[in-house]
Structure 1
């Protein structure tokens, strides 16, 4: 197995929304806001090369939305999936599997693109299977009013129409599931959105966890620092507490999808609870 960090593009989000009830005077220390109260956000994906499989975890926003849509998110930098893949000698047509941690637009939008004459949509990775889970799929395709703006039909329905949509199977009531076909374990959590999937990957003697929206940035480590976007914040708290304690105890390496300035972190126990131990680049740890 070989892993590659893939940068799908940077953008900005409202700092208040990203930190919920936490005052700006606190979160601004770790995630400084600009004059519009926006903070830097990454769409950092992960490519897994395993045998004849190339599995991409999440795909960022993509580029098919309108200029007005992107004006809300202030794209910045020159990262793209294609540039990242090319750096490692790969092309998007070689991707065999797209694993969606969840179906919010900033995690799955890059999976679908306009067709050639812009009359409809098609898979952006023409040879890849799409992976979700049945409960989250139902949640996303029959969205509540709060999440409707995050579950965009043009990102989701074409996956099913492609005939390549697959659901991760797991034992009923099991929070953690090992998937033999994909080669990694998955933690199911429900605080941010129903049945978000958090991949756990054993790699070069270390446990690497793709954090998705369970821990968006290093600034979100303190337990009350929960996003305003979470649908069940009081469920996020125990999910996050249990995970962070395990991560600190077992020295997990946390791969941060949304932290534009910290790629991987480790945690430690302190008198104030679980806190940041060290920040790392991917190459420092695994090359």
Structure 2
């Protein structure tokens, strides 16, 4: 097995929204804000090469939305999925599977693109299966009013129309041992219904793709929960459970949204689970 970080692009989000009820004087210690209260956010995806399969976890925002839409998110840097794949010797047509942790636009928007004449949409990875789960798919395609702006039909429905949509099984407890994909999945419901956190066994290490269960290293303290989460009290419990597992077992936490910390480990302290070490992806992969 080989792992590759795939950078889908960087953007900015409101720091207050990213940290909910936590005062700015606290969260700016780890996530400094600009004059408009915006903090740096990454869309750091992960590519798994295993045998004849290339599994891409999440795809960022994509490039099919309007200039007005992207103006809300202050895109910065020049990273794209295509550039990052090419730098690692791959092309999007090589991808066999696209695994989406959940279907919010900043995690799955790059999965679907305009067709050639911009009259409709098509898969951006024409040879890939798209992975979700039945509970989350229903949640996303029949969205509540709180999340409706994050579940964009043009990002989601073309996956089903393509005939390439597949669903994982659902776990009896928190963790599913998925034999087809080759990694375990931790299911979390605080951010959105049945978000999936891949747990990949790699050279004696467990690499956990943290998605929105732990957006940045600054979110390690349990009360530091995003304002975007639909069930924040449930996020508290899920974070505590997962971070205790991570500290007990020395998991390596791959941070999708942290623009400055790529991989971290954590440890138990008197204040709870806190940061232990930080790594660049090339240090681990």
TM interval, shorter chain, is over 0.9
Q: Which runs of 4+ in 1 moved over 3 A?
A: none
The reply on whether 1:2 has 2:17 as its aligned counterpart is no
The reply on whether 1:180 has 2:182 as its aligned counterpart is no
2:132 and 2:270 map into 1 onto residues whose CA distance is 39
Q: Secondary structure at the match of 1:241?
A: helix
TM-score calculated relative to the size of structure 1: 0.98
TM-aligned CA deviation for residue 126 of structure 1? 0.5
Q: Secondary structure at the match of 2:70?
A: helix
TM-score calculated relative to the size of structure 2: 0.99
2:48 and 2:169 map into 1 onto residues whose CA distance is 20
TM-aligned CA deviation for residue 285 of structure 1? 2.1
TM-aligned CA deviation for residue 46 of structure 1? 0.3
Aligned to 2:230: 231
Aligned to 1:95: 95
Report Cα offsets for 1:216-258 as digits up to 9, x if no partner.
0000000000000000000000100011011011100000000
Aligned to 2:60: 60
Aligned to 1:195: 194
Report Cα offsets for 1:102-133 as digits up to 9, x if no partner.
00000000000000010100000110000000
TM-aligned CA deviation for residue 180 of structure 1? 1.1
1:46 and 1:271 map into 2 onto residues whose CA distance is 33
**The 10-residue stretch of structure 1 (173-182 or 58-67) with the greater mean CA deviation from structure 2:** 173-182
Q: Secondary structure at the match of 1:62?
A: coil
Report Cα offsets for 1:34-89 as digits up to 9, x if no partner.
01100000000000001110000000000000000000000000111001110111
1:175 and 1:31 map into 2 onto residues whose CA distance is 30
2:256 and 2:228 map into 1 onto residues whose CA distance is 16
Aligned to 2:264: 265
Unmatched 5+ residue regions in structure 2? Answer: none
TM-aligned CA deviation for residue 170 of structure 1? 3.0
1:44 and 1:178 map into 2 onto residues whose CA distance is 24
Aligned to 2:109: 109
Q: CA RMSD in A?
A: 0.6
Aligned to 1:74: 74
